[in-house]
Structure 1
Amino acid sequence: MLRFGRSYITVSEIAQQFFCEYKLHMAIIEGKVETPSMEVGIVIHDEVFKGKSVDATEFLNIVRNNPVVIATLPLVVGIGDVVIVGIPDAVLFINGIAKAVIELKTSNKWLDRVFENENVQAQLYAYLINKLGLGRDPLIVIIKSKRDPGVVPSLRKSIYSAVVDYVNSAVELPAKVRFRDFTMYIDGFDRSIEARLRWALDYWLMRRDAQAMPSPGKCSVCEYRGNCPFKALE
């Protein structure tokens, strides 16, 4: 039985455990708080990855019959008794094989680095792709961009071609490539994600309590700091 009587866990929830597991715990108990910055990020994602909806049969035909396809699709995998569900921002298919996971992260700062939770999320999507047989050790591509709706046209125009170009090149990994409106981080599949997943699942399987990861930077902007017993002080 999973914590909170859940029937499945999402990749984004597992990733949040590597930012602050106790924050995730409180969000489930008290309810998720949507901040204005989150809403802007959702709008940007929806616009950048806007595409045509197709059913499973049509999707498979498109992937099989086109040399390059970039698509958003649900990934559902059972790991032991736990069902994990995730929808990556996009997956790059080349000749019918998933070659890269693409994740867009928007922020008003911290564009010069990839955080552990961001890396874990992308690596988990790649792990699920492996499990589903859609590809073998796809690359991880994380796009960091300003949280500004004004950059959407540039992102839609540039991201896809940039990813295809660099995935097809013999770039040394990990790689960091700066563009005018975004920075692209490319890395290989990391098999240590399996150990990280086991650690995360121990919480959901109620083998341990939620762990706090307090820091002044995290706690000062946390929506649950008023009720959190672990908050860090400046």
Structure 2
Amino acid sequence: MHDLADFQRDFSAALFSAEVAGAAALAVHRNSGARAAIDALAANYPVVRALFGEEPFAACARSYLQAHPPRDPRLSHVGASFAAFLGTYPSAGDLPWIGDVAALEHLWLESLFAADAVVLDGEALLALGLDDGTKVALHPATRFAQFASPAASIWRAHDQGDPGALETIDWRPEAVIVTRHDQTVGIAPLSAAGLAFVGAIAASHTMVAAAEAALAVDPGLDLSAIFGALIDAGTFTYATDDGSLS
């Protein structure tokens, strides 16, 4: 016998299946469910929608939702695999970087709804001491990624309502950090050294080891400046001895 979760998954799949298009009993639910899912996908990926245009995005959304019907009732979870889908979607061929922008928007969404935790400021970090064994952890809302395209610059141009800025973007790979501070999600560029530092913290290394990883990438790095920027963004929280959140 199916449990409730199985029933919900099967019902969701039926709503988006072309095979039930003529079933009167499901027609109303299918239409309203599909519309709600498309609207949720559009709300979760506003810059991707703007880059595609309304009608092409709606067509893409329908194709995605037929292949990947929602499995979770939370609208914020609609489109979790959308970025990967765009890599195989034929009409995205003219926008080879669109998947990176979608992945960035998904990180923004994850950060927005991530669990809360104490944000370590400079005073709290000084109180921890900076000896060889000192560890911090990434705040639950912190995300970071390396993209092959300038995804953050593309996202920022549209988020700030300046599509013309696309023409001035330096077309190169970008690393980004996504953080939530004072209930506001921010996306900021991250240097190669900064990426090494954050990656080391994510891997539960000590702060000293993270600093060494960053300096190995850029020996001339102003470590205090990059560390200060990460603190101001709300990147860190407390860690236990094994590097997990306390």
TM-score normalized with structure 2 length: 0.25
TM-score normalized with structure 1 length: 0.25
Higher relative contact order (CA 8 A, sep 6+): 1
